[in-house]
Chains A and B, each alone.
Chain A
């Protein structure tokens, strides 16, 4: 066997790549039977998120993300999480500010004094990628592969601080960048509709929801609406995520709040500005006290802290319905 030539490689730590281990996990843990998976967000996060897990979330706290599930992770004070911080405004910073995260694979996220201090004091370590490099890594994980070649990322300084390698392509002889596949421990995904088994529908654009669901050992879906399996069967082309990759289904109307859920409700602009301001000015603890620790559950937060007036306002501003399954 000849050895593949590695021209250069990054020095960054990366989650251990183990495609056969992942297959065995899927063999042993992903239930093939159609069993109801409905549970509360408290139960789902308690059961399926462990300290030290690698966590990805689809989209982010402000854009059709699993915001309620992220708040519950913080409420339960999970520790030492490794976060896939791609395409994200405040979610990664909130997790760092809450003391839940110790490693970040960066694509893009909003920094601020709290994160800067955590990195400076060595409580958090950042590894450098980009948004698409991260979704390619998750894609490779979803394909059951150990790595994926890509035509970007080479030549950057991010490459040096990542798990990427530049190799001589054995087919063309040209240099090609490869990045390690990512099989996260947990994926949090917020969807428009799901049945109780986890056959889920997302309408509209997204980042890497299918890939994240396929690539992750434990998949928690939160959904705006629970629909009947008969409805899934009437229009199977709309199933985004099949039940057998899903481990928990949590019914959380307004689960993307304060973010937008396309076709259902707009973002709460006041809240968006509040949380961005908190991130940029170092007031994450105050934000968490008010919005996360200030309520025992998502439902309680929506009832007591958000309230009917604001819910009516964000709902009425969602005027575009085309394409969102209405």
Chain B
């Protein structure tokens, strides 16, 4: 692994965390575009060349010609370039339904302790609410891939005790057979949640904090959640991006910064600790290399 990067932003860090979790020669149903697609492409370039990904427009393992035009992350010549198969939404849905898809990678608006996902409405669906686009392909990804990895931001309004609307299923009410009782395939469900600040797994179908980024504390993570998650006895410190990862991300995968232009910048200080750049400016002590 190459040198640790000295300057990166939260979104880049999150994408790199997910990329390092990708297993070689496994199948991934990836939400079209955005961070999930950047993560799988980065993984394939650096760590897991034989990982396979599909998108809901029926594309099997393309080598996309980057950068993609705005919005054109699916059903486009560039996004589906050099694929192994061009199918349809039903063909991918059925491939997942027979158990071919090992992992799903998704984004979400809201998640709860049981890994249920909301992408439909914030507020009271029957009354005052703010409407969003609906589950899209996420419902099928969350239902039928063996393991689901969720990417979201570490914010109080995103981690809620109960999502306002279950668009895509997690462990539902958290009871042992809840998914099977709802007709979902046996042995499937949420697996990890990755935010720029933290890593979670599930213990007894409940979200558990297992890692934090070196530029935040466990308390900071917990303060950006509307419920108190389980916490592992040993919370690991998450690795920050390497220069190689960032170089690929910036020069090939997201040249235009469409994915990674959000998120606070973080800097590695001379003593090896990390801090948000705003804090640096406030303190007036930029690292000597600046």
In the assembled complex, which residues on chain B have CB atoms less than 8 Å from the CB atom of A139?
Answer: 90
Q: Which of A108, A155, A177, A262 contacts B76 (CB 8 A)?
A: A262
**Which residues 15-71 of A have a CB within 8 angstroms of B?**
59, 62-64
In the assembled complex, which residues on chain A have CB atoms less than 8 Å from the CB atom of B165?
Answer: 157-158
Check A136 against B131 for contact (C-beta < 8 Å).
no
In the assembled complex, which residues on chain A have CB atoms less than 8 Å from the CB atom of B76?
Answer: 63, 260, 262, 267
Chain-A contact segment, one of B66-74, B216-224, B234-242, B260-268: B66-74
In the assembled complex, which residues on chain B have CB atoms less than 8 Å from the CB atom of A208?
Answer: 88-90
Q: Which of A157, A209, A262 contacts B166 (CB 8 A)?
A: A157
Bound Cα distance A59, B78 (Å): 16
In the assembled complex, which residues on chain B have CB atoms less than 8 Å from the CB atom of A276?
Answer: 71
Check A306 for interface membership: any CB of B closer than 8 A: no
Check A3 for interface membership: any CB of B closer than 8 A: no
> B178: nearest residue on chain A (CB-CB)?
A155
Check A189 for interface membership: any CB of B closer than 8 A: no
Closest Cβ of chain A to B273, distance in Å, is 40
Check A176 for interface membership: any CB of B closer than 8 A: yes
Check A128 against B120 for contact (C-beta < 8 Å).
yes
**Which residues 148-169 of A have a CB within 8 angstroms of B?**
150-158, 161, 166
Bound Cα distance A273, B72 (Å): 12
In the assembled complex, which residues on chain A have CB atoms less than 8 Å from the CB atom of B179?
Answer: 155
Chain-B contact segment, one of A230-238, A247-255, A285-293, A318-326: A318-326
**Which residues 115-166 of B have a CB within 8 angstroms of A?**
120, 125, 130-140, 142-144, 165-166
Q: Which of A152, A267, A269 contacts B184 (CB 8 A)?
A: A152
Chain-A contact segment, one of B34-42, B52-60, B276-284: B52-60
Check B140 against A152 for contact (C-beta < 8 Å).
yes
Check A135 against B88 for contact (C-beta < 8 Å).
yes
Check A14 for interface membership: any CB of B closer than 8 A: no
Check A132 against B139 for contact (C-beta < 8 Å).
yes
Check B167 against A156 for contact (C-beta < 8 Å).
yes
Check A109 against B134 for contact (C-beta < 8 Å).
yes
In the assembled complex, which residues on chain B have CB atoms less than 8 Å from the CB atom of A132?
Answer: 56, 89-90, 92-93, 137, 139-140
Q: What is the number of residues of chain B that contact chain A, defined by CB distance less than 8 Å?
A: 55
Closest Cβ of chain A to B170, distance in Å, is 9
Check B168 for interface membership: any CB of A closer than 8 A: yes
Check B65 against A205 for contact (C-beta < 8 Å).
no
Check B86 for interface membership: any CB of A closer than 8 A: yes
Check B137 against A205 for contact (C-beta < 8 Å).
no
> B169: nearest residue on chain A (CB-CB)?
A155
Known pairs A132-B93, A272-B70; A204 contacts B75 (CB<8 A): yes
In the assembled complex, which residues on chain B have CB atoms less than 8 Å from the CB atom of A180?
Answer: none
Check B87 against A205 for contact (C-beta < 8 Å).
yes
Bound Cα distance A275, B238 (Å): 41
Check B259 for interface membership: any CB of A closer than 8 A: no
Closest Cβ of chain B to A8, distance in Å, is 9
Check A267 against B72 for contact (C-beta < 8 Å).
yes
Bound Cα distance A129, B75 (Å): 21
Known pairs A156-B166, A260-B76, A267-B72; A130 contacts B137 (CB<8 A): yes
Check B131 against A62 for contact (C-beta < 8 Å).
no
Known contacts A157-B120, A207-B58, A211-B90; 20 further A-B pairs (Cβ under 8 A) = A87-B56, A87-B89, A106-B133, A106-B134, A111-B131, A132-B56, A135-B88, A152-B142, A154-B183, A154-B184, A157-B166, A166-B182, A175-B181, A176-B183, A177-B183, A204-B80, A266-B69, A266-B72, A272-B69, A276-B71
